[in-house]
Structure 1
Amino acid sequence: MKQRQQKKLSHRLFEAILSGDASSVKTLLRRGANPERRNTDGTTPLYLASVQGEAAVARLLMESGASPDTESSGPGSEGTPLCAAASWGHTATVRELLAHGADPTLREDHGAGWSPLDWADNGPHPETAEVLRAAGAHPATKAHPAL
């Protein structure tokens, strides 16, 4: 697929994710949109879906090859999809990520930051924290960085 066409599909994919339009996301993925292609800021599609709490969209992205543990690097969008969903208490999205193999112990910032459980506990999002604990999550062992 030509670079220009892939860029256009990627742009449309991010728009569909932002609007929570799972049907359009599914269509764009079928047309060849790359579920791992970052936007110009470095944000991954799965991170965006996770922070928005779009569980169905997250599932579609992972079923199309998006890795549940790929860290996003966009300004204000740094971290793992699981940390993003946990920080906002998006329990359904946390469940989808875990069901697709997200590591509940993976700390963001390449292992130096908070764990998903740290984010859920400090939300506070007790239901999300319980789901993470049941999946084997534990808080980071070092002192929490400032938010």
Structure 2
Amino acid sequence: MKQRQQKKLSHRLFGAILAGDAKSVRILPRSGASPERRNADGTTPLYLASVQGEAEVARLLMEAGASPDAESRGPGSEGTPLCAAACWGYTETVRELLAHGADPTLREDRGAGWSPLDWADHGPHPDTAEVLRAAGAHPPG
């Protein structure tokens, strides 16, 4: 597939994620859109879905091949999808990410930053923190 077509499909995928359009997110990877291709800022599609709390969209992206632990690097969009969802208390999105293999102990900033549990606890989002603890997350120490 040509680079220009890939870029166009990626742009459409990001638009569908922003709109919470699960139908398009289901179709676009089948048409050749990569579920892991970052936008120009370095943001991953799964991070964007996670920070918005779009559990179904996140699930579809992972089913299409998006890595649940890939760290996003866009300005204001740095971190892992699980940290993004935990930060805002999006418990259903956290559950989807964990169900698809996201590491509940993985810290942001290549291991030097906060964990998903840190974000949930500081939210404070006790329901999200409980789900993370049940998945094996633990406080530092």
* Range class of TM-score, shorter chain: over 0.9
Map of 1:11 onto structure 2: 11
Deviation at residue 30 of structure 1 after TM alignment: 1.2
AA in 1 matched with 2:53: G
Deviations 1:14-59 (A, max 9, x none): 0000010000111111101000000000000000000000000000
Higher helix residue share: 2
Map of 2:107 onto structure 1: 107
Map of 1:120 onto structure 2: 120
1:115–1:138 Cα contact (<8 Å) kept: no
Map of 2:60 onto structure 1: 60
Give the 3-state SS of the residue equivalent to 2:109 in structure 1: coil
Structure 2 distance, partners of 1:14, 1:22, is 12
1:89–1:123 Cα contact (<8 Å) kept: yes
Deviation at residue 11 of structure 1 after TM alignment: 0.2
**Is the aligned partner of 1:80 residue 2:80?**
yes
Structure 1 distance, partners of 2:105, 2:140, is 8
Structure 1 stretches lacking a partner, 5+ long:
142-147
Map of 1:136 onto structure 2: 136
Aligned residues: 141
AA in 1 matched with 2:67: S
Structure 1 distance, partners of 2:49, 2:140, is 24
AA in 2 matched with 1:119: W
**Runs of 4+, deviation exceeding 3 Å:** none
AA in 1 matched with 2:2: K
Give RMSD over aligned pairs: 0.7
Q: Please, what TM-score do these two structures have when normalized by structure 2?
A: 0.98
